Each structure stands twice: as structure tokens, then as C-alpha cells.
Amino acid sequence: MTTTDRRGLLALTAAGLAMPGLLRAQEAWPDRTLRLVVPWPPGGSTDTVARIIQPKLQEVLGKPVVIDNRGGASGSIGAIEAARAAPDGTTWMLAYDTQATNESVMKLPFHTMEAFAPVSLVATGPLALVAHHSTPFRTYADVVAAAKKDPDSLNYATSGVGGLAHVATTLLQQVGGFRMVHVPYKGGGPATQDAVAGHVPLFMSNVVVISQHIKAGVLRPLGVTTRGETRHVPGVKSFAQQGVGDFEAPTWWALLGRTGTPKPILDKMHAALMTVLADNDVRQKIEEQGADVVGSTPAECGTFLQREITRWGEVIRANKIQADS
């Protein structure tokens, strides 16, 4: 037997030994439609990001991926639904920043780090405090002055109680020594509608759902929650640059699977998502909305989630924020 023959035989033998593992991985992957739970109503930022990645994701996976909007209770209703799903790889969730804050704001039948397997941090972006163009507020300092002059008279909207927008604005008030009245909505879509209509003077939101209204001049940006200025809201200073210490509160979106899902399935979903996020068209669409594509390892995603849960939990407890506040 020649050296070439022996090499060929070894290659065939190795392939044969590996085949059972490959077959098991293929058999483990669900041969049916996959469900992507979006724990928010249509029209919000999480729904927007989901609908950007969904077509390419199902193309890469070669399987249908259906978006399942389960809005309500600051994303907790959809998260509970996803946490109850079988860990067979058929159900996934695109989590929003409230996934970290809800842990401390309300009593949930699960803990995020126990119920879910991190796949990847999809994107991050700035929150922006905006004022309706009809209001007299031209700067963040104008808002602070008005709120100090007449406490609890100035309303601001967010997508829901206990979300990062709510908690971050609470921290701004705490540090700045002023008080406003929180007006929570059942998602970014409904909140944006009322903010654009001028029914509420101020709105703290991720830029994804309000970028077009900022560009149109309907909503006036007064500050952003990134450490410094961001290309997504050019010319607008961060709160840190406006004297609020080292304040930083980026919003984020992450893909999560169920804990207990077979590792080959988690690995395949992660690889597919990395391919999706590397696609120029997908990246451009997400970044045009006002977010920055990340694409992390599962471990990096898990570390990030735990850090957010711990950090904002301290603010929530210090300010006694609860689901009915």
C-alpha cells in the first residue's frame, strides 16, 4: 500500500468515525419552523431589528423563521412565553434591554441567566431624550431648570416601566436633583406615536424608533446616553458631556435560546447569526436605524447580560422602582 493509499484510507476512516457525530448534530436540529419571540408589539425597535435579520436568518438556516410578537409588561410577557418553551431549538428570543432590568423590577417565574442560553449580542445603540418641536425645550439644561422650578409637573414617556429608558432617566433625575413624572407605554411603537403627536412633551427612547422623526425635525434631541457623541445623533452632546459625571446607558438587543438546548443547535444558530450580521445589507439597515451591529460570542453575551442585571438592579432598588410605579 502506497503512502497516498494509506492517507486516503485514514481520511475515510476519520470521516466514518466523525459521521455519527455529524448525523446526531443534524438530527438534533429541529426539522420544522423556528419561532423568534419578540417580546414587544410591532413597530418598536426590537420588532424592527428582528424584521431586518429574519429574512437573511431563515435563508442561512434553510428553515422558516416566524416572528412571534408577544408584547406587554415591559417585555416580560414574551420572555415568560419563551422561558416556558421546550429547549429543542424551535424557540428563540430577541431580547431588549428590559430583559436585564425586569429581573429587579418585577417578580418573574424565572431568572434570565438560568432560563436562557446567550447566543450573541446583536447590536447596541444610544438612548436619546427628545422633546416635541412645539415645546420650549432647546437643551437638556432647559428641562432640568423647568423640572426644578416646578417638580412633578413635567411628563416624560418611555416604552414601559422598569425599562432601561425609565431607569436611566430616573438616574439622571437622582444625580441632577430634579423630578419629572413618568408616563409608561406598552412598547416603543405606541410611545413614539404619542410623542410625535405632541401628547407628551418629552420622550426617552432608543434612536431606532425615533431617528426618522429626529431627521424630520418633529422631535428635538437634547442628550444621548453614550459616553460621548454618537454618529447616530450628530451634533448632540451626551449627558456625560453635559455635566452628568460618567453617565452611560447604551441600549441593546441580544439573541437568546433556551437553557438546555443541545450545544450543536446553539452553535449552529450562533454561526448562522454571525453570517447574517456580517451581511452588508443587514448591517446597513440596522445602522441606518441608529444602532451599531456587535456580533459577540455566547460567553461575551452572557458576561454583558450579567453585568447589566447587576448594575441596573442597584439603581432600581435604590430608587424603589416597581412594576406599578
Which residues in the chain land under pLDDT 70? Answer: 1-28, 324-325
* Strand 116-125 versus strand 251-258 pairing type: antiparallel
Query: What pTM, to 2 d.p., does this model score?
Result: 0.85
| CB 161, CB 324: distance < 8 Å | yes
pLDDT at position 324: 62
Q: What is the pLDDT of residues 196-234, one digit of tens each?
A: 999 999 999 999 889 999 999 999 999 999 999 999 999
* Sequence-separated (6 or more) residues with CB below 8 Å from residue 238: 223, 224, 225, 226, 227, 228, 229, 230, 247, 248
Q: For residues 112 and 256, give the distance between their C-alpha atoms in angstroms, rounded to a whole number.
A: 10
- What dotted CATH number matches 27-125+251-318? 3.40.190.150
β-sheet bridge partners, residue 224? 128, 238
- What dotted CATH number matches 127-242? 3.40.190.10
pLDDT at position 210: 95
pLDDT at position 19: 37
Q: For residues 317 and 103, give the distance between their C-alpha atoms in angstroms, rounded to a whole number.
A: 11
Q: What is the DSSP string of 88-154?
A: SSSEEEEEETHHHHHHHHS--SS-HHHHEEEEEEEEEE-EEEEEETTSS--SHHHHHHHHHHSTT--
What is the residue extent of each domain of the chain? Answer: 1-26, 27-125+251-318, 127-242
pLDDT at position 28: 64
* Sequence-separated (6 or more) residues with CB below 8 Å from residue 54: 36, 65, 67
Q: Which of 87, 93, 89, 85 is nearest to 69 (CA)?
A: 93
Same CATH topology for 27-125+251-318 and 127-242: the answer is yes
pLDDT at position 323: 79
